[in-house]
Amino acid sequence: MNQYEDFAFIYDELMNEVDYNEWTNYIESIYKKENVKVKNILELACGTGNLTIPLAKRGYNVVGIDISEEMLSIAREKINKEGLDIVLLNQDMTQLDFDVYDMDCVLCGCDGFNYILDDVQLEELFIKVYSILKEEGLFVFDISSYFKLSNILHNNTFGENREDIAYIWENYFDENENLVEMNLAFFVKEDDKFKRFEETHYQRAYTNEEIVMLLKNANFKDIKVYKDFTFQRDDGEGERVFFIAKK
Ligand SMILES: C[S@@+](CC[C@H](N)C(=O)[O-])C[C@H]1O[C@@H](n2cnc3c(N)ncnc32)[C@H](O)[C@@H]1O
């Protein structure tokens, strides 16, 4: 299974319509609402650093972890350009090896946990996250919702035809396993030709109830489930669901 290899080098361009500054504002508004003082953040599945970098610029100490060396290589380039001091670790978060036990916040933005296909592994990760948070520390993450994966992506094909990049994105939703297989074919302009490459991604569709149960099993308290960058409880129709939980 190849994920975020060649794709890493065009990821930022394809995500250029996502406003990561607003996303960072939302994260900070969560800290404010929860009345938690945050300085040290561990960010899981940090990718090319789209949240890591704005958070570091706002004065947080951030450590970023990602399984894709290619995604981290882009993050490193951007961090060096900005002259920032951010530690990046190339790790599979399901085997998280992190021994600092007083983090104020553990963060995972933009559906990193949907890539954990096994709920037992996700629960084990939640237990590890609990152990590295300080008392009252915050766990903040979002997932692509069950509704989005099962109804919107479902068995549908999406595509985009830009000047220098085009892609075809085919989805197959397995209702028994609650897994979506995403077959991605990219076409990237190089000189006057287009190079084609493919990746296959698998994401697990978790219901809000499943995630809340896993959080409770890991001992988290004050669990909140918000819809699409708001502070409204998700009604099952949000596409990006945010979970906030306290140690
Ligand atoms: C949609 S990207 C999000 C990246 C970044 N958080 C952002 O907002 O742009 C998902 C990321 O999850 C990472 N990822 C997937 N499975 C992982 C794992 N088991 N451990 C660590 N990172 C993982 C991928 O490499 C990728 O960078």
Q: How far is the CA of 175 from the centre of ligand 1 (A)?
A: 24
Short-list 110, 106, 88, CA closest to 43? 106
C-beta of residue 101 within 8 angstroms of C-beta of residue 127: no
* pLDDT tens digit sequence for 82-128: 999 999 999 999 999 999 989 999 999 999 999 999 999 999 999 99
Give the mutation target among 11, 18, 42, 68 for probing the ligand 1 site: most ligand atoms within 8 A of CB.
Answer: 68
Cα(190) to ligand 1 centroid in Å equals 26
Please report the pLDDT score of residue 78 as a whole number: 98
Ligand 1 site, residue 75, Cβ cutoff 6 A: no
Q: So what's the pLDDT on residue 178?
A: 98
- Predicted confidence at residue 6, as pLDDT, reads 95
Please report, as a single letter, which amino acid is at residue 171.
N
Position in ligand 1 atom list of the atom nearest CA 47:
27
Domains 8-143+206-246 and 148-203 share a fold: no
The full set of domain ranges for the chain reads 8-143+206-246, 148-203
Compute the chain's Rg from CA coordinates: 18
How do residues 146-203 score in pLDDT, each as one tens digit? Answer: 999 999 999 999 999 999 999 999 999 999 999 999 999 999 999 999 999 999 999 9
How far apart are the two ends of the chain, measured CA to CA in Å?
A: 35
Q: How far is CA 228 from CA 2, 20, 243, in A?
A: 29, 14, 11
Instruction: Report phi then psi at 159, rounded to 5.
Output: -165, 165
CATH superfamily of 148-203: S-adenosyl-L-methionine-dependent methyltransferases (2.20.25.110)
68 Cα–ligand 1 center, Å: 7
Q: Is 243 in the pocket of ligand 1 (CB under 6 A)?
A: no
**DSSP readout, 33-84?**
HHT----EEEEES-TTTTTHHHHHHTT-EEEEEES-HHHHHHHHHHHHHHT-
Contact criterion met (CB below 8 Å) for 46 and 64: yes
Does residue 241 line the site of ligand 1, with CB under 6 A? Answer: no
pLDDT reading at 1 higher than 90 = no
| Degrees to nearest 5, angle at CA 242 with 207 and 55 | 145
pLDDT number for residue 9? 96
Residue 144, both tokens: 């692509």
Does 51 sit in the ligand 1 pocket, CB within 6 Å?
yes
Residue 17 has what pLDDT?
95
- Write down the mean pLDDT value for the chain: 97
The residue whose C-alpha atom lies closest to atom 19 belonging to ligand 1 is 92
Look at residue 216 in the predicted model and tell me its pLDDT: 98
Q: Return the CATH superfamily for domain 8-143+206-246.
A: Vaccinia Virus protein VP39 (3.40.50.150)
Calculate what percentage of the chain has a pLDDT beyond 90: 98
CA dist 82 and 149 (Å) reads 36
Instruction: Report the pLDDT value the prediction gives residue 101, as an integer from 0 to 100.
Output: 87
207-212 mean pLDDT: 98
Task: State whether the beta carbon of 93 lies less than 6 angstroms from ligand 1.
Answer: yes
Q: From atom 17 of ligand 1, which residue's Cα is the shortest distance away?
A: 67
